[in-house]
């Protein structure tokens, strides 16, 4: 099932109704929906956790990808407790080990559960810059650095997946992950959902290069059918085109 903006509300409702798509919320703060997991394709699940930024509750997306007899986690859940909850869900609902995880930039919505994963014996990988920026920010630091993606527009393999460093965008170190079999591009926080009318948190953004970073992604993966933003509803390649509208509206 390919994910496009027209179908997103129906699919979100389906995800909420599906058994196992919402975990036990007893430990979630008031108003926090807790962990949600939705299957997008055979062998691909989107996990969504919630936390507050500047007093506003936001959803944060990541992916679980099956590779044969094991799984790959794209970004931890938002925080240690949510990541522990995600591990329980994976054990109970999928029952396969997580072979490795990737953190797509240094902010806490991507790295908040790194220590939990590494304590469970799951190696976490990131752009080399993410290690430095995480340490400077006081966030958990992924122990492993991907090689060969220092230059904007460069890629490297990670099992069945391809990792793109498009250049600075939402953050200087943001990476994207391509799932070639499913034609899914995990854009992370470098991509905004279609419903947004602004660039979001730009405190650590590379506003000058961000448009070029999106053009790199468009040029590399013109066959993408599904694009997953770091926050909000997935869509198709129109999410990448939407970014250029946001850049123009912001005068960038």
Q: How many distinct structural domains can be found in the chain?
A: 1
Give this prediction's pTM.
0.86
129 is written with which tokens?
């810059």
Query: Residues 100-135: pLDDT tens digits?
Result: 999 999 999 999 999 999 999 999 999 999 999 999
Check 170, 216, 231, 242 and give the catalytic one: 170
Q: What is the mean pLDDT of residues 42-48?
A: 96
Q: What would the two tokens of residue 114 be?
A: 């790194």
Q: Is 25 a catalytic residue?
A: no
CATH of the domain at 242: 3.60.15.10
- The pLDDT, as a whole number, for residue 104 is 98
Q: Which of 32, 99, 144, 201 is catalytic?
A: 201
Is residue 166 within 8 A of residue 178, CB to CB? The reply is no
CB 217 within 8 A of CB 153: no
The domain of 207 spans: 5-249
Residue 69 pLDDT greater than 70, yes or no: yes
Handedness of CA 177, 10, 43, 27 (dihedral sign): positive
Spatial CA neighbour of 77 closest among 115, 39, 42, 31: 115
Q: Output the pLDDT for position 11.
A: 36
**Residue 39, both tokens:** 């299957």
Position 3 scores a pLDDT of 40
Instruction: For residues 16 and 22, give the distance between their C-alpha atoms in angstroms, rounded to a whole number.
Output: 7
Choice among 75, 109, 173, 206 that is catalytic: 109
**In terms of C-beta density within 10 A (0-12 exposed, 13-18 middle, 19 or more buried), how is residue 245 classed?**
exposed
């Amino acid at each position: 099932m390919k994910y496009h903006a027209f179908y997103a509300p129906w699919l979100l409702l389906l995800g909420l109704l599906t058994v196992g798509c919402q975990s036990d919320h007893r430990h979630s703060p008031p108003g926090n929906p807790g962990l949600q997991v939705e299957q997008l394709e055979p062998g691909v699940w989107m996990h969504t956790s919630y936390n507050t930024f500047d007093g506003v509750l936001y959803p944060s997306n990541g992916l679980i990808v099956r590779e044969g007899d094991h799984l790959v986690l794209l970004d931890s859940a938002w925080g240690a407790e949510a990541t522990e909850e995600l591990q329980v869900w994976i054990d109970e609902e999928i029952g396969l080990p997580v072979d490795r995880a990737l953190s797509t930039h240094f902010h806490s919505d991507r790295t908040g559960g790194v220590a939990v994963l590494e304590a469970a014996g799951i190696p976490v990988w990131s752009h080399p810059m993410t290690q430095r920026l995480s340490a400077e920010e006081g966030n958990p630091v992924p122990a492993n650095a991907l090689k060969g993606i220092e230059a904007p527009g460069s890629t490297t393999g990670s099992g069945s997946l391809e990792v793109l460093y498009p250049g600075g965008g939402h953050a200087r170190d943001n990476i994207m992950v391509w799932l070639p079999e499913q034609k899914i591009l995990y854009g992370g926080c470098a991509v905004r959902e279609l419903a947004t009318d602004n660039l979001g948190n730009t405190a650590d953004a590379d506003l000058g290069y961000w448009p070029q970073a999106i053009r790199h992604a468009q040029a590399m993966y013109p066959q993408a059918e599904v694009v997953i933003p770091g926050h909000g509803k997935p869509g198709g390649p129109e999410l990448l085109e939407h970014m250029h509208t946001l850049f123009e509206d912001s005068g960038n």
